[in-house]
């Protein structure tokens, strides 16, 4: 059976690794970096998050499952360590925080056939799926995909996602003596989400620029932020602006997507929040791990 997976986020790569023993998997991605919104940039042989995503439970029920989830994630090569400080998400503050390293999971993409192309249209005729002139028996589609043209047994549907281009800043310091958090969603008036990671000889600061400041230059962003206090006396050794294009779908768009793709060979994969997505993936596909989550 030939299957196509759209996107190479951690959830989609976990699914690919589960399916590899029974389906011939091809992964489509139009990004240059593996991992989608979880991708890395390498600095002195250390992987640093290009964006500000962290793995945190959204409520107490998910938090209770976290130890069992962690145990099962190790099987996919995901390294899990105690977080270096506190996470401060807006919704739920967990008692224990962890750092998740997806490096080996991302490396597993080499095991599969990879096509670096944008998927705009999916065509289904009877039980055959066509993607960019290639045929498949199944397709696995994440929530946030760029497909806007569907043809399901001669019925045509158009459903475009909202394209959002986020702007991030990556700063690397010799020392960054901020101990209040390792992740926050409200850093200051310039940056909303911010993540701090300590490495052997440096500390990284990754932050997302607030919408109203996206047109400002790198120097202006640093100067107007409170992070400027640490960017003095050669303490800052690297700086870069990083951008990410996201295919966003709101609740109504997702409902329409599920309705359009109500075909047995099109599987819609929840990729909204990592833990919730992984739990849903276990319920639907990863049956041999589901007992760990009971």
Arithmetic mean of pLDDT over the chain = 93
CATH code that applies to domain 163-246: 3.90.660.10
CATH code that applies to domain 2-35+103-161+249-293: 3.50.50.60
Neighbours of 269 (CB within 10 A): 21
pLDDT digits (tens, 9 = 90+) for 271-286: 999 999 999 898 888 7
More confident residue, 6 or 91: 6
Place of tokens 């206090």: 229
Provide the b/e sequence for 146-157 (b: ≥16 CB within 10 Å): bbeebebeeeee
pLDDT digits (tens, 9 = 90+) for 20-54: 989 999 999 999 899 999 999 999 999 999 999 88
Q: What angle do CA 271, 76, 166 make, to 5 degrees?
A: 35
The model's pTM is: 0.94
The answer for 153, left when phi > 0, alpha when psi is -120 to 50, beta otherwise, is left
Place of tokens 């994630």: 73
pLDDT digits (tens, 9 = 90+) for 178-233: 887 899 999 999 999 999 999 999 999 999 999 999 999 999 999 999 999 999 88
Range of weakest confidence among 103-107, 146-150, 260-264 = 260-264
The continuous run of DSSP H or E covering 241 comes out as strand 236-248
pLDDT digits (tens, 9 = 90+) for 109-143: 999 999 999 999 999 998 899 999 999 999 999 99
Residue 168 pLDDT > 60, yes or no? yes
**Coil, helix or strand at residue 101:** strand
Residue 183: exposure state from Cβ atoms within 10 A (0-12, 13-18, ≥19):
buried
For the chain, the structural domain boundaries read 2-35+103-161+249-293, 163-246
């Amino acid at each position: 059976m030939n299957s196509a997976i759209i996107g190479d986020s951690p959830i989609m790569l976990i699914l690919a690794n589960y399916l590899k023993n029974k389906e011939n998997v091809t992964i489509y991605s139009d990004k240059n970096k593996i991992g989608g919104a979880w991708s890395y940039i390498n600095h002195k042989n250390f992987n640093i998050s290009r964006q500000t995503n962290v793995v945190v439970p959204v409520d107490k029920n998910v938090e209770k499952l976290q130890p069992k989830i962690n145990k099962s994630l190790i099987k996919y090569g995901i390294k899990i360590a105690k977080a270096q400080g506190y996470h401060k998400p807006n919704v739920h503050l967990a008692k224990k925080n962890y750092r998740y390293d997806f490096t080996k999971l991302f490396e597993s993409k080499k095991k599969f056939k990879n096509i670096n192309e944008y998927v705009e249209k999916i065509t289904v005729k009877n039980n055959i799926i066509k993607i960019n002139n290639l045929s498949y028996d199944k397709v696995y589609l994440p929530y946030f995909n760029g497909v806007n043209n569907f043809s399901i047994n001669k019925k045509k549907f158009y459903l475009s996602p909202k394209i959002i281009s986020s702007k991030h800043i990556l700063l690397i310091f010799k020392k960054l003596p901020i101990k209040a958090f390792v992740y926050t969603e409200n850093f200051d008036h310039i940056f909303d989400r911010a993540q701090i990671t300590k490495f052997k000889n440096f500390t990284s600061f990754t932050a997302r620029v607030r919408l109203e400041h996206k047109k400002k230059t790198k120097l202006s962003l640093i100067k107007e932020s409170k992070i400027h206090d640490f960017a003095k006396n050669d303490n800052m050794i690297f700086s870069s602006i990083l951008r990410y294009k996201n295919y966003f779908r709101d609740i109504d768009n997702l409902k329409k997507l599920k309705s359009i793709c109500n075909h047995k060979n099109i599987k819609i994969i929840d990729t909204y929040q990592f833990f919730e997505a992984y739990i849903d993936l276990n319920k639907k596909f990863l049956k041999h791990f589901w007992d760990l989550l009971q």
